[in-house]
Amino acid sequence: MPLTGAHAQFRVEVSGVGLTQLPFSIAPFKGADALPQDLVAIVKADLERSGQFRHVNPVVGVLLDETSRPDLAPWRDRTADVLLTGSVSRLADGRYDVRFRVWDVIRVQDLGGMSLPVTAADLRLAAHRMADYIYEKLTGEKGIFSTRIAYVTKTSSRYSLWVADADGENAQAALGSPEPIISPAWSPSGGLLAYVSFESRKPVIYSHEIATGRRRLLANFKGSNSAPAWSPDGKTLLATLTLDGGSQLYSIDLASGAHTRLTQSGSIDTEPVWDVAGKNIYFVSDRGGAPQIYRMGAQGGQADRVTFSGGYNTSPAISPDGRSLAYVARVGGGYKLQIMDLASGTVTSLTETVADESPSFSPNGKLIMYATRLQGREALMTTTLDGRIKTRLSGGQGDIREPDWGPFLL
């Protein structure tokens, strides 16, 4: 049953305004009129979603491309600090050559450009790469617009695992199943997704090669197999197994398949995640009587409690710089996304919604993607770490959940 990307078109809703946003403008691309994708609109939406950029309407009646040396004065008058120019042409093999150049309007400086030869299917990708280029030139940080996300949808009796662009568009189904799929986790290289599938009427962990559809059963032990987490080097998988009855943490060596028990508690230990260096494991345990987040060494042993406020803290995610912990706390009967500064222990609540789930950081650490419920429907959201800029990536039909933000791709 072929499922097309058109099934999951997304809408971007930005709410809230950041303090310092860099004004940018985009001149209409030469030769882009008849393209199947509006590249300029994609770049604009990408940059706005970051919360760090503000779009300024382009100067009318000026034809520019990447070879032009534009008169920047009228753009400066429009208060644009940055200008993107470019063109698209068809190559003989059917591909498109997307070329662009970025101008610093204030300093009248050429910030460079690129040629991106792509297939029609990758035109969106070219737009995301342009947005990444501008983002990196202007902020000094790598952009995440060309990265990918995974998520799960549920329609009446069908569960699907999707791989989409970071803006939620261009969704492609990787797996369809009559039984639930949860906890997708990207491998560090971005080539594999580990997830929990219930297709054999129990939770087992697969890894799934995205480009080929080839699947490998990683954990199918007696009982439940869940909560997969790749080590930063991609050689080890953490998982929750129930070999002795209760849910405990194990590490699985992916080359040999050998598993080692990491926790020895009579309580629930689950949802492990590695820190960036692969030295520590954060996880959820109810050893203190209620679910809280703990930290221990990569080989197990002594665990220290990390969350102290509230009686229900689950679903930890560690920022790429290792400084922040995102998690979901039960607050007044609702489940709300929190961020903790690990050095100070300061906790900030990031949302107004009450059914937040499954946070994951963008690979540059500037955004968090999470699932929640809005107007009675499941939705995917991104938020800046201060909670100011939120974007909704709302699915076309059915419920949408379990997002995981993939790594930078080379």
Partner 1 sequence: MLILIQFFAIFLTSVLIPMTFLKKTNSLVSLSATALVLALLGGCGSSVNLDEAPVADRTGTQVDTAANGTSGAAGTPADARAVPLVSADSQNTGEPPASVARIIYFDYDSYMVRSEFTATLEAHAKFLKADPKRRVTLQGHTDERGGREYNLALGQKRAEAVRRSLAVMGVNDAQQEAVSFGKEKPAVAGSDDAAHAKNRRVELSYR
Of residues 349-388, those binding partner 1 (CB under 8 A): 357-358
| Smallest separation (angstroms) from partner 1 to the CB of 308 | 18
Looking at 9-79, list the stretches that DSSP marks H as alpha helix, in order from N- to C-terminal side: 39-49, 73-77
| Smallest separation (angstroms) from partner 1 to the CB of 391 | 22
The residue type at 381: M
Check binding of 310 to partner 1 (CB under 8 A). Answer: no
Check binding of 34 to partner 1 (CB under 8 A). Answer: no
Q: Which of 143, 164, 145, 142 is nearest to 153 (CA)?
A: 164
Residues in 11-30 that interact with partner 1 by CB under 8 A: 30
Query: What are the C-alpha distances in Å from 312 to residues 141, 334, 360?
Result: 34, 10, 19
Check binding of 226 to partner 1 (CB under 8 A). Answer: yes
- Residue 355 gets which letter from DSSP? B
**Using the rule CB under 8 A, which residue among 291, 363, 365, 403 binds partner 1?**
291
SS3 187: coil
- Helical (H) or strand (E) element with 269: strand 269-274
Which contacts qualify for 243-251: CB closer than 8 Å, 24 or more apart?
A: 249/281, 249/283, 249/300, 251/298
Q: Which is nearer to partner 1, 125 or 379 (CB)?
A: 125
| Smallest separation (angstroms) from partner 1 to the CB of 28 | 15
- Residue 343 gets which letter from DSSP? T
**Using the rule CB under 8 A, which residue among 51, 58, 113, 143 binds partner 1?**
113
Q: Whole-angstrom Cα distance, residue 175 to residue 181?
A: 9
* Angle at the Cα of 122 from the Cα atoms of 24 and 153, rounded to 5 degrees: 95
Residues in 247-286 that interact with partner 1 by CB under 8 A: 247, 268, 270-271, 284
Check binding of 218 to partner 1 (CB under 8 A). Answer: no
Q: Which of 385, 344, 387 is nearest to 365 (CA)?
A: 385
Q: Which is nearer to partner 1, 210 or 306 (CB)?
A: 210
Q: Whole-angstrom Cα distance, residue 167 to residue 160?
A: 18
| Smallest separation (angstroms) from partner 1 to the CB of 238 | 12
Check binding of 36 to partner 1 (CB under 8 A). Answer: no
Q: Whole-angstrom Cα distance, residue 346 to residue 323?
A: 11
Q: Which stretch binds partner 1 (CB under 8 A): 49-57, 59-67, 255-263, 382-390?
A: 59-67
SS3 162: strand
**Using the rule CB under 8 A, which residue among 26, 43, 306, 328 binds partner 1?**
328
**Using the rule CB under 8 A, which residue among 7, 76, 95, 392 binds partner 1?**
95
| Smallest separation (angstroms) from partner 1 to the CB of 21 | 27
Q: Which is nearer to partner 1, 48 or 271 (CB)?
A: 271
| Smallest separation (angstroms) from partner 1 to the CB of 206 | 9
| Smallest separation (angstroms) from partner 1 to the CB of 354 | 11
**Using the rule CB under 8 A, which residue among 402, 404, 405, 406 binds partner 1?**
402
| Distance between start and end Cα atoms, the chain | 31
Q: Are 368 and 383 in contact (CB under 8 A)?
A: yes
Q: Tokens 């995640």 appear where?
A: 273
Check binding of 177 to partner 1 (CB under 8 A). Answer: yes
Question: How many residues sit close enough to partner 1 to count as binding (CB under 8 A)?
Answer: 84
**Using the rule CB under 8 A, which residue among 68, 139, 265, 280 binds partner 1?**
68
Check binding of 190 to partner 1 (CB under 8 A). Answer: no
